[in-house]
Structure 1
Amino acid sequence: MSHTTNASARGQTSQRRDIHQEVTDTIIKQLEKGTVPWHKPWQGEETKAFGLPYNSITQNHYRGINIVLLWSSAIEKQFASAEWGTFKQWADKKEMIRKGEKGAMVVYYDVLEKEEDDEIRKIPFLKTSYVFNRCQLSSYQPTNTDDTQQPKQSLVERIQTMDCFINNTQAIIEHSQRGACYSPKEDKIYMPFTEAFIDTEACTATEGYYSTLLHELVHWSGAPNRIDRAKCKKFGDQNYATEELVAELGAAFLCAEYDITSAEKGDHANYIASWLKALKDNKHCIITAASKASKAVHYLRGLQP
């Protein structure tokens, strides 16, 4: 979404706020509580709220960092719906927000026009809006949301759909003892055998396998003959952290779309610490990674018949 804007007014707005930092701080706040906002935070029907968030008027799913921001809000307030809208959008549907409710921040790019050498240059910059969840409406009753009324597919059905999705990418996947990884040199995904995965409290062994495979499939999408994402030069550099976050978020977006629970990481504390460091080192990291993750998911969807 982009709009032509008044340069002086918008310039003043951008100077007052550092939206990249605000977004990053929102995610950091969740991570410092020990919560990973791109993982399902609870069991049961409430996980419907952890599907891809969508707009109440357009029915379109949010993209990029807005998915993570709305998941963060859903986790914090334990919403049971994935449906969101602005104050005006809900009002247009004759719905009222309950008194005292606060909206969740989403961001989008606007355009600043600047004249240079007799030419108009368009400079994109971040702008914020605020949306409210269906659970924040005066009319909301836990038993009448569309989210909880939709029948849930069995795990077998969901995995069959997932198998079709993966097969349609035509990625080369080889099972071995070497663990999960994508080899750029061979352009091949290596996966452990399925029996290497075990059931956990949050996730079945089968879901653990597929969420891990989706992570590697997002890495695979970034090859030069596909999206051609910039890769890291060495382990531990900023590009490495960003690419890993791209794969994490891309897999999370796909897991939410296909209702697959992500596998838990072995060392939860170190896992969170690694993302805290990446976000604190670079306030642009999470927005950049989320945008690239959405592009990766869009590319993988484009390979479907």
Structure 2
Amino acid sequence: MEHAAAKTETIKAPRKDLHQEVTDTIIRQLENGVIPWQQPWKDFGQPLRLPVNFVTGNKYQGINTLMLWTSSIEQRFSSNEWATFKQWASKEEFPRKGQRGSMIVYYSTFEKENEDGETENIPFLKSSYVFNRCQLTSYERPKRPVDEYAETLFDKIPPVEAFIENTQAVIEHGSDEACYHHIDDKIYMPYRSDFTANAVCTATEGYYSVILHELTHWTGHSDRLARGKGKRFSDWDYAVEELVAELGSAFMCADFGIATIDKGNHSAYISSWLKALRENKRYIFTAASEANKAVEYLKKLQVN
């Protein structure tokens, strides 16, 4: 009697849904009342800074900025320097035993033949892991400064003032609130003296974080980036645009090395953002990408 050859079946593990994994990370933070682009403290006098690859010197962008900020806030990293294991090893630096890397994502492509027999490049999301300088065996946490927080008066920061002026946006001061009016194509701001300091940011930083928020809204006008227009963004609502402006301001503040203001109305925004994130796993990717485009647009308006 012949015995039938035993059949083996290879069960493939389901492919990771990276869009969902990243979105779940942001959702977890928001559910805990933490906004990943607003660090609730100044670690050793440093506001939240744009994460940078220590080896290449390149700044991480878009969704990766949010992912690394999230990791920094969760683990209280005071450094903004990141690199892969191999990159750190090339500099004879190594993560401490038991340290886990933080995920970043990037797009790659694969070739696929379509119905017409033509080859198409199909984009897909891939992941990699990086380690913060604070996770290295050589890292020593600096001593906390002796001086305590003290309120300061508004003091202009020339590079930020020049950046705002070079956009040539129409800005009127004296309003009871900060807002961008799409029809008038104007930004309305309270007087600089109306801004107060708190434990997170100075009055100066508060003013600049708000006006950079409104400038991000300003880039969405139909004569500029036309954000919210067209089929792709036909389902955008106020909460989505507000998130783009929040991220745009956070990216620019980090670039200038200033803190972002605590607006005091986080609960309403968090609720709307959570709803959108749960309904659309690509929401945060799109918002981060559009915020990045807005920042790049504003940078291009700067005089050389």
Structure 2 stretches of 5 or more lacking a match? 1-10, 144-151
- Cross-structure match for 1:247: 245
Does 1:32 pair with 2:44? no
Structure ID, larger Rg? 2
2:3 matched residue in structure 1:
none
Secondary structure class of the residue paired with 1:217: helix
Shift of 1:140: 1.3
Aligned residue pairs, count: 281
Q: Which of these residues, 58, 69, 78, is aligned with residue 60 of structure 1?
A: 58
Kindly tell me: are residues 46 and 177 of structure 1, through their superposed partners in 2, closer, same or farther at Cα, counting changes over 3 Å? closer
Question: Per-residue displacement from partner, 1:168-195 (whole Å, max 9, x unpaired)?
Answer: 1111101243522112222111112223
> Normalising by the residue count of structure 2, what TM-score does the alignment of the two structures yield?
0.85
Q: 5 Å matches for 1:132-147?
A: 132-143=131-142
Secondary structure at the counterpart of residue 126 of structure 2:
strand
* Residue 209 of structure 1: how far off its partner (Å): 1.6
Which runs of 5 or more structure 1 residues have no equivalent in the other structure?
1-11, 145-153
User: 1-side partners of 2:86 and 2:155: how far apart?
Assistant: 38
Aligned to 1:151: none
CA–CA separation in structure 2 for the residues paired with 1:88 and 1:13: 28
The structure in which a higher percent of residues are helix is 1
Percent identity over paired residues: 56
The 3 A distance-change label for structure 1 pair 98 and 207 is same
Looking at structure 1, the residues matched to 138 and 201 of structure 2 have their Cα atoms a distance apart, in angstroms, of 34
1:109/1:126 contact within 8 Å kept: yes
Structure 2 counterpart of 1:278, one-letter code: A
Quote the offset at 1:225 in angstroms. Answer: 2.1
2:7 is matched with which residue?
Answer: none
1:134–1:253 distance in 2 versus 1, CA, 3 Å: same
State the superposition RMSD in angstroms. 2.5
CA 1:165–1:41: 2 relative to 1, 3 Å:
same
Q: State the TM-score, normalizing by the size of structure 1.
A: 0.85
Deviation at 1:143, TM superposition (A): 4.1
The equivalent of 1:77 in structure 2 is: 75
- The amino acid across from 1:88 in the alignment is K
Cross-structure match for 1:163: 161
Establish whether residue 281 from structure 1 lines up as the match of residue 279 from structure 2.
yes
Matched AA of 1:126: L
SS at match of 1:264: coil
Identify the residue that residue 189 of structure 1 maps to in structure 2: 187
Give a deviation string over 1:197-220, Cα, whole Å, max 9, x none: 222232222222211111110011
